[in-house]
């Protein structure tokens, strides 16, 4: 049984048919990437999985349990956390307060210090800026914070929406190194990206999304070799 | 040079027109009375205090002169040019106006038919009780002299050296204050904080002993507004939900207390204390009932729906249809007040009751704010979607904020009705909601001390300056506009909010505001 099973979901914004039967599976301990251009439906897919949007058709299973009717705020408790598009940090709260909010779902505060240590080890930069108001962080630091905040909830499945967005190439690289590191500690990752080059370099498998439909799925290696992918997403003629 | 004159002329005409308006409203005579009393001037005329009027004009032109010179204070010449141009224009405007009304008055034209404020006595007052020519010349002279003086004073204050010297002195003074032993002790000793609170509490508890009947009553009203302010502060300031119909819950509290304790229209006459609790519960319940359908909406929609709810409640309690049950336009009489050991509460005891209620509510709010609930509200106010993704049930916490705020208003309403031994539709107009929201804005959204300061400014000051009662709305609006421009975060804001509105000035929170270390 796959960890996450998305079965043929159709999601609408009013009359706009954003997802037209998307199916994705993610196995435990994998990094799976969903690549696609602007407006392909990547964010909609993540928002549907995380319960912020309801699919009109189709269903979603997490560890064998149906979650497509579960309200968003309950999913954290089941082990799914999202790093939203554009980071969505609480800009007016300090770095520490953001992390504290990330741990909101944690039942007791005893593990809080351990979690905080773990996260600070991964992002030493954040520890230095613990008391800084997070809106004044640089873009790269904000991405670190958004990721760190999600990790404070101890997720088993981490959904990431375009972590490379708006970052200089050198920062993108370091962000993706951390993603691999997070994955090594046993967290499964579903990574949504426009930047197919980096996404396919860290993922095990990938899906290609076009105007709300999956047009291709394969191992990351094969996708990198695929002619269509090379042309459309990797910038290779 | 040309620009300076132009700007002076523009500013001068604005000031001139505004002053003429003030005269037409009669506000000048009220203000001059207050000013005249302030400096103990005998009044020579029967309406208004001419000495006060001179002071008023002088102050206004000082202000005009200094703001006219703001554009260029690099040398005294440009300051002089601005001062002269602005004061000339104001002087001309006002003097011409006074000349005109003075002339018409001496020609026995009845201006009162058109402008209520311009009777013979008022015109005499505008002329300082002197002849037409003397009055006009005095006015013109005051504006000219003080306008120029204002510009030059501002120049002098800003002039580089003077400015630096003064700034340095201020800094030195500040450092000294911080270095003083008392301040150090205060900083080092957390117990001193509690001693401070204790002293404050003592003052609060002793003060009613020295207040007369009238002031006890007035302060009681302020206290009830503090209660409501604390409630709305949770809804708007902490949870970020704009509720414009807050008076509805005040009305529900008042009417629950009234209906259950008064002999008519329902012959129930239950005692005050159980009913007080019941009023709070009823208001909270109404908050939840309204909240369930409404809280899914955001921003503007929520504001409009709550506004409507407030009006519906008011219309219902007024209606003839429900009159047999709730008293209709006449309201409810003979509402029972509290008593302890068979002794009915006096005005003083009421004030104490209200003070105790406020203290309890402050403790409760503080507790909520620092608990998990407070964190959920904070996250929600920042970003609702992300808050959900963090595992916060936003609907639940919104309902909770709404119900808590409603409960506080219910408590306020019950105390209000019991104190007055009467309540009716006129007590529950939209104006109450507006007042409470305004006191939050003026005091400082999200801040408990801000609520208290705001209630005193908006409900207490009007009692002190009763002469201004006629202009309450004018002053009210002016104050709000003024606050938005000068200090949008309110008089005593929550540190976090101050930070939001002064971005870049402060990027590290003062330690006591951070959540670090709380809730270990
Ligand atoms: N809030 C919304 N309301 C209406 N249409 C939307 C909304 N959000 C996204 N869409 C539409 O849904 C489609 C998919 O959008 P999205 O999932 O954001 O794409 P991506 O994340 O891949 O850029 C687009 O056509 C977009 O215009
Ligand atoms: Mg997107």
CA distance B282 to chain A (A): 30
Say if residue B166's pLDDT is above 80.
Answer: no
CA separation for the pair B159, B176 (Å, rounded): 25
Task: Give the dihedral sign, CA B146/B147/B149/B153.
Answer: positive
Residue located via tokens 């095990």: A204
Q: Given pLDDT bands bounded at 50, 70 and 90, which one contains residue B479?
A: confident
pLDDT of residue B504: 45
Q: What is the mean pLDDT of residues B49-70?
A: 86
**How many CA atoms lie less than 13 Å away from B43 in the CB half-sphere?**
20
What does each C-alpha distance from B71 to A53, A137, B1, B89, B353 come to in angstroms? 55, 36, 11, 18, 54
Q: Which helix (H) or strand (E) holds A176?
A: helix A169-184
The residue-averaged pLDDT of B491-500 equals 71
In this prediction, residues B413-420 reach a mean pLDDT of 94
Answer yes or no: is the C-beta of A86 below 6 A from any ligand 1 atom.
no
Inter-chain touch B499–A133, beta carbons under 8 Å: yes
Q: Nearest chain B residue to A111 by CA: give it.
A: B520
pLDDT in tens, B357-376: 999 999 999 999 888 899 89
DSSP B375-439: HHHHHHHH-HHHHHHTT--HHHHHHHHHHHHHHHHHHHHHHHHHHHTEE-GGGGSHHHHHHHHHH
* Beta carbons of A90 and B499 less than 8 Å apart: no
Q: Which of A72, A75, A151 to mutate to test the interface with B (most CBs of B within 10 A)?
A: A72
Q: Token pair for residue B123?
A: 């015109």
pLDDT over 50 (residue B518)? no
Banded pLDDT at B180 (limits 50, 70, 90):
low
A50 CB within 8 Å of a chain B CB? yes
Average pLDDT across chain B, whole number: 83
**Which residues on A lie below 8 Å from B371 (Cβ)?**
none
- The stretches in chain A having pLDDT less than 50 are none
Evaluate: CB of A47 within 6 angstroms of ligand 1.
Answer: no
pLDDT at B501 over 60: no
Nearest CA to ligand 1 atom 3: A13
Give CATH for domain A1-79+156-237: 3.40.50.300
End-to-end Cα, chain B, rounded Å: 65
What local confidence, expressed as pLDDT, does residue B499 receive?
59
B425 pLDDT more than 50? yes
What is the domain partition of chain B in residue ranges? 2-167, 199-513
Residue B243 backbone phi and psi in degrees, to 5:
-110, 115
What residues of chain B lie within 8 A of the CB of A97, using their CB? 378, 514-515
Instruction: State whether the beta carbon of A41 lies less than 6 angstroms from ligand 1.
Output: yes
Length of chain A: 237
pLDDT, position A29: 96
* Cβ <8 Å between A81 and B386: no
Mean pLDDT of B273-293: 94
Distance CA A189, CA B112 (A): 81
Chain centroid, CA A120 distance in Å: 20
- The pLDDT of residue B106: 87
Compare CB distances from B514 to A82, A97, A109 and report the shortest one's residue.
A97
Q: Rounded to a whole number, what is the largest CA-CA distance in chain B?
A: 82
pLDDT-above-70 percentage for chain A: 99
B411 in Cβ contact with B227 (< 8 Å): yes
B387 has pLDDT over 70: yes
CB contact under 8 A, B390 and A104: yes
Residues of chain B contacting A50 with CB distance shorter than 8 Å: 389
> Is A18 a pocket residue for ligand 1 (Cβ < 6 Å)?
yes
Does residue A39 line the site of ligand 1, with CB under 6 A? yes
Contact B376 A104 (CB under 8 A): yes
pLDDT score recorded for residue B508: 46
Verify whether ligand 1 is closer than 6 Å to residue A1 (CB atom): no
Q: How many helices (H) and strands (E) does chain A have?
A: 10, 10
Task: Determine contact, residues B451/B410, Cβ cutoff 8 Å.
Answer: no
For the segment B207-259, what is each residue's pLDDT rounded down to a tens digit? 887 777 888 888 899 999 999 999 999 999 999 899 999 999 999 999 999 99
Task: Among A73, A92, A93, select the one facing B388 at the smallest CB separation.
Answer: A73
Closest residue by CA, ligand 1 atom 21: A43
Instruction: Please tell me which of the candidates A72, A102, A131 has its beta carbon nearest to residue B514.
Output: A131
Residue A16 CA, closest ligand 1 atom number: 5
Q: Is the CB of A44 under 6 A from ligand 1?
A: yes
Phi, psi for residue A138 in degrees, rounded to 5:
-75, 165
- Residue B267: helix, strand or coil by DSSP? coil
Q: Whose CA is nearest to atom 23 of ligand 1?
A: A39
* Intra-chain end-to-end CA distance of chain A, in Å: 39
Query: Would an 8 Å CB–CB cutoff place A84 in contact with chain B?
Result: yes
Mean pLDDT of B18-25: 82
The structure tokens listed for B5 are 């004159």
The domains of chain A are located at 1-79+156-237, 89-154
ipTM associated with this complex: 0.90
Distance A212 CA to ligand 2 centre (A): 12
Supply angle C-alpha A171, A172, A177, rounded to 5.
95
The mean-pLDDT minimum among B16-30, B313-327, B370-384 falls in B16-30
Tens digits of per-residue pLDDT, B267-277?
888 888 999 99
Residue B507 above 60 pLDDT? no
Cβ-Cβ contacts under 8 Å for A187 (sequence gap 6 or more): A151, A155, A156, A157, A158
Predicted pLDDT at B193: 67
The structure's pTM equals 0.74
Which has more confidence, B109 or A162? A162
């Amino acid at each position: 049984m796959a960890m996450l099973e998305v079965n043929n979901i159709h999601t609408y914004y009013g009359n706009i048919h954003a997802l037209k039967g998307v199916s994705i599976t993610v196995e435990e301990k994998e990094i799976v990437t969903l690549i696609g251009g602007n407006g392909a439906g990547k964010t909609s897919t993540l928002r549907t999985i995380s319960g912020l949007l309801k699919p009109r058709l189709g269903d979603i299973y997490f560890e064998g349990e149906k979650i497509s009717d579960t309200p968003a705020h309950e999913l954290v408790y089941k082990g799914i956390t999202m790093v939203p598009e554009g980071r969505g940090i609480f800009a007016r709260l300090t770095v520490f307060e953001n992390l504290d909010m990330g741990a909101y779902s944690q039942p007791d505060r005893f593990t809080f210090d351990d979690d905080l240590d773990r996260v600070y080890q991964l992002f030493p930069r954040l520890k230095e800026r613990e008391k800084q108001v997070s809106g004044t962080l640089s873009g790269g630091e904000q991405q670190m914070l958004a990721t760190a905040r999600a990790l404070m909830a101890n997720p088993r499945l981490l959904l990431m929406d375009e972590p490379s967005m708006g970052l200089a190439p050198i920062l993108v690289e370091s962000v993706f190194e951390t993603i691999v590191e997070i994955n090594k500690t046993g967290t499964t990752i579903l990574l949504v990206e426009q930047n197919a080059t980096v996404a396919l370099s860290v993922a095990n498998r990938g899906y290609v999304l076009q105007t709300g439909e999956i047009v291709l799925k394969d191992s990351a290696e094969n996708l990198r070799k695929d002619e269509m992918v090379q042309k459309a997403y990797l910038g290779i003629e | 040079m040309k620009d300076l004159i132009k700007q002076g002329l523009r500013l001068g005409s604005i000031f001139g027109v505004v002053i003429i308006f003030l005269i037409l409203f009669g506000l000048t005579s009220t203000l001059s009375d207050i000013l005249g009393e302030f400096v103990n001037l005998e009044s020579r005329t029967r309406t208004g205090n001419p000495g006060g009027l001179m002071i008023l004009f002088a102050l206004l032109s000082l202000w005009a002169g200094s703001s006219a010179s703001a554009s260029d204070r690099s040398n005294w010449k440009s300051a002089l040019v601005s001062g002269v141009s602005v004061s000339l224009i104001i002087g001309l405007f006002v003097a011409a106006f006074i000349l005109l009304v003075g002339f018409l008055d001496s020609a026995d034209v009845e201006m009162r038919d058109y402008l209520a404020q311009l009777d013979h006595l008022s015109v005499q007052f505008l002329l300082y009780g002197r002849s037409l020519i003397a009055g006009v010349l005095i006015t013109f002279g005051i504006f000219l002299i003080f306008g120029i003086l204002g510009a030059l004073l501002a120049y002098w204050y800003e002039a580089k050296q003077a400015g630096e010297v003064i700034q340095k002195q201020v800094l030195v003074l500040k450092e000294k204050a911080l270095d003083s032993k008392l301040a150090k002790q205060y900083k080092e000793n957390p117990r001193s904080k509690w001693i401070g609170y204790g002293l404050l509490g003592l003052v609060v508890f002793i003060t009613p002993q020295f207040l007369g009947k009238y002031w006890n009553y007035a302060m009681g009203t302020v206290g009830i507004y503090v209660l409501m302010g604390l409630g709305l502060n949770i809804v708007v300031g902490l949870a970020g939900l704009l509720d414009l119909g807050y008076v509805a819950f005040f009305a529900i509290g008042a009417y629950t207390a009234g209906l259950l304790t008064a002999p008519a229209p329902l012959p129930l006459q239950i005692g005050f204390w159980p009913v007080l609790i019941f009023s709070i519960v009823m208001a909270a319940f109404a908050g939840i009932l309204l909240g369930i359908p409404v809280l899914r909406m955001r921003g503007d929609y929520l504001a409009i729906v709550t506004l409507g709810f407030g009006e519906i409640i008011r219309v219902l309690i007024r209606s003839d249809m429900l009159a047999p049950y709730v008293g209709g336009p006449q309201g409810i009489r003979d509402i029972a007040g509290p008593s302890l050991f068979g002794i009915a509460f006096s005005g003083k005891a009421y004030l104490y009751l209200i003070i105790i209620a406020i203290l309890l509510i402050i403790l409760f709010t503080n507790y909520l704010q620092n608990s998990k609930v407070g964190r959920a509200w904070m996250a929600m106010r920042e970003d609702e979607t992300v808050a959900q993704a963090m595992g916060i049930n936003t609907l639940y916490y919104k309902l909770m904020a709404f119900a808590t705020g409603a409960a506080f208003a219910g408590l306020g309403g019950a105390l209000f009705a019991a104190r007055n031994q009467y309540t009716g539709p006129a007590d529950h107009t939209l104006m109450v909601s507006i007042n409470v929201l305004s006191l939050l804005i003026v005091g400082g959204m999200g801040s408990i001390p801000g609520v208290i300061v705001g209630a005193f400014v908006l409900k207490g000051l009007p009692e002190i300056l009763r002469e201004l009662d006629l202009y309450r709305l004018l002053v009210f609006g002016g104050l709000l506009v003024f606050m938005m421009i000068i200090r949008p975060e309110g008089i005593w804001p929550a540190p976090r909010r101050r930070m939001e509105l002064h971005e870049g000035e402060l990027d590290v929170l003062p330690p006591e505001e951070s959540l670090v270390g709380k809730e270990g």
